[in-house]
Structure 1
Amino acid sequence: MSSSALELPGWKHVYSGKVRELYIPLSAESLDTATQVLMVASDRVSAFDHMLEPPIPGKGELLNQMALWWFEKLDFANHVLSTDVPDAVAGRAIIAKRLKMYPLEAVVRGYIAGSGWDEYQRSGTVCGIELPAGLEFGDKLPEPIYTPAFKAPAGQHDENISYEQSIDLVGEEAAKAIRDASLNLYQQGAAVAEQHDLIIADTKFEFGSDLGRLVLADEVLTSDSSRYWSREAWAEGRRRESFDKQIVRNWLSDNWDKTGVPPELPEEIVQQTAARYRELFEKLTGESAPAER
């Protein structure tokens, strides 16, 4: 059992991811044969493929509640079965349908930023897709683009791939369905975010198959899977003030050469990051952020 896993009545721990712990019912033999899973979001934070210390207080519950808010808003089948979970993980866990997951990160970019901006500066492309000349950081793209990535096994780097390569991975029918669903979900999400004076610059979705039916899984449009900007800040040219762990990345870039074990995050960086997560939740949902437990 992972050191961060809990003993939960009726469930046994089977997997630890970067952020989530997975449990299956005691009656299930394995993750492969289980029909449902308990997914618990932790407060862990990672950057540059390293787990960092200390965790961000309240992050797991915030991300879980934001994902649930979006699952309710989006017109698409999802994996949520219940939020009736053990008390020890209340607020930061769901019971989800066990799916056959596709090994793709379904990335949609509506604005140019992040690694896409780095590539564009070198070659005028993003993930091999040619874009108009003269774009500046944070500019809105003529239309959203789909740039899938191969979801590598734990401990390895995800790899940007072409749409044609995604067909090789999952087959033409599934690749097209995932691409079309991702672009549609991004448009749905962007329209909702705009009502709250927010921009979703880019995001990633994950999908699984439920007896051939495409189902949205994992998290959706959270501040860990998406780059959000304030529309006002974007219009004023302040396009690097995203509502996510960019504060952590910036501090690490200034204080670590990316070799060996990363340094411990200062308390002020932890608190600033937690505040950004809370601010986005409240701007988006109009609700108070969950209290730290």
Structure 2
Amino acid sequence: MSQSAIVNIDIKDKLPRVASGKVRDLYAIDDDTLLFVASDRISAYDVIMENGIPGKGALLTSMSTYWFNYLPKQVPGLQTHFLSSTLPSALSSQPELQDRSMQVRRLRIIPIESIIRGYITGSGWSEYRKSGTVNGIAMPEGLIEGQKLPTPLWTPSTKAELGGKDENISPEKARELIGDAKVAAKVEELSLAIYSAAAARAEAVGIVLADTKFEFGLDAQDNVILVDEVLTPDSSRFWPKDTWEANLGGQQPSFDKQFLRDWLTANGLKGKEGVTVPDDIVAKTAEKYREAYEKLTST
């Protein structure tokens, strides 16, 4: 990884900027094509840290590219927004953006985050302890933290604007927000199928895919298309398979940003703005991301 983190990307003098997210900046190449540029920014609990993780944007881009190529071979009918990992000619003089950029199809974005939970943890576990439900879905009694669910659950959330908080919602509420029953059903169907394929791949290399977030868009024919990043440590919980069962009922070791979340919580910084992450936490978080990438993309 490079020695310094790239947290600010500004190329609007060469391409018009369409949007900025917690990690990615989106630019218009033409009417049909966007450039996704992944910075090294990192967020936790919906707050962006002041400093980033060196090399993170390039790693996330490479990981998403791997999945965009892998998943359509595993999930019949799956379409993605991914076009290429090449830079447009307007940016030929900025090779430092090469490894962190993707050209993608420009689509209408469906206004929810499509989350699949295969194991009970995080906000799902918090809700279950209070009410016996996850996203309003009644669950069996006696589950323990980290346990594998009887079947993976579609547990969507709202898609907040930058600086806002995503909120877990029921599947019924998600269908209402999507506004089209067929589209909502396809989002749920594809999300579960992608999770199943990815979980099998992860298990084969010694990783438990506890949960993950997908986003989808619609093309001109209203086909549901997988967009954004996919199955990265930013959008997923990855646990070591060999220690999962021994850690039931407690916090699992992870290959994702749970390490950062734990540090924030332990230091009373959960949800706080203006946090600078210490060098040792940056290094350990980068190490976890790299380990997940190397395991999942190995042949």
If the length of structure 1 is used for normalisation, what is the TM-score? 0.90
Cα offsets for 1:34-57 (capped at 9, x unmatched): 211000011001112221122011
**Alignment partners' CA distance in 2, 1:235 and 1:208:** 37
Residue 140 (1) aligns with residue 148 (2): yes
Q: Structure 2 unaligned runs (5+)?
A: 1-6, 73-77
| Fraction of identical pairs, as percent | 45
Secondary structure of the structure 2 residue equivalent to 1:60 = helix
Note the C-alpha offset of 1:260: 5.5
Secondary structure of the structure 2 residue equivalent to 1:274 = helix
Question: Residue 45 of structure 2 contacts residue 271 of structure 2 at CA under 8 Å; is this kept in 1?
Answer: no
Give the aligned residue type for 1:62.
Answer: L
- 1:39 match: 36
- 1:248 match: 260
Note the C-alpha offset of 1:279: 0.7
**Alignment partners' CA distance in 1, 2:270 and 2:202:** 34
Paired residue for 2:279, among 264, 267, 283?
A: 267
**Alignment partners' CA distance in 1, 2:270 and 2:149:** 31
Give the aligned residue type for 2:18.
Answer: V
**Alignment partners' CA distance in 1, 2:243 and 2:120:** 16
- 2:50 match: 53
Note the C-alpha offset of 1:187: 0.5
Stretches (4+) displaced over 6 A: none
What is the count of residue pairs matched by the alignment? Answer: 278
Question: Residue 256 of structure 1 contacts residue 262 of structure 1 at CA under 8 Å; is this kept in 2?
Answer: no
Paired residue for 1:16, among 20, 25, 30?
A: 20
Structure 1 residues 201, 258: CA separation in 2 closer, same or farther (over 3 Å shift)? closer
**Alignment partners' CA distance in 1, 2:71 and 2:270:** 38
Residue 283 (1) aligns with residue 295 (2): yes
Secondary structure of the structure 2 residue equivalent to 1:74 = helix
- 1:183 match: 192
**Alignment partners' CA distance in 2, 1:5 and 1:279:** 26
- 1:7 match: 11
Note the C-alpha offset of 1:131: 1.3
**Alignment partners' CA distance in 1, 2:145 and 2:10:** 43
Residue 152 (1) aligns with residue 160 (2): yes
Question: Residue 84 of structure 2 contacts residue 102 of structure 2 at CA under 8 Å; is this kept in 1?
Answer: yes
Note the C-alpha offset of 1:258: 4.5
If the length of structure 2 is used for normalisation, what is the TM-score? 0.88
Alignment of 1:205-216 (within 5 A): 205-211=214-220, 212-216=222-226
Alignment of 1:99-118 (within 5 A): 99-118=107-126
CA-based RMSD of the aligned residues comes to 1.8
Give the aligned residue type for 2:15.
Answer: W
Residue 196 (1) aligns with residue 205 (2): yes
- 2:227 match: 217
**Alignment partners' CA distance in 1, 2:207 and 2:271:** 36
Note the C-alpha offset of 1:18: 0.7
**Alignment partners' CA distance in 2, 1:213 and 1:259:** 37
Give the aligned residue type for 1:82.
Answer: S
Paired residue for 1:161, among 169, 189, 192?
A: 169
Cα offsets for 1:140-186 (capped at 9, x unmatched): 00000101112122222112222221222121111111011111111
**Alignment partners' CA distance in 2, 1:101 and 1:208:** 4
Structure 1 residues 271, 67: CA separation in 2 closer, same or farther (over 3 Å shift)? same
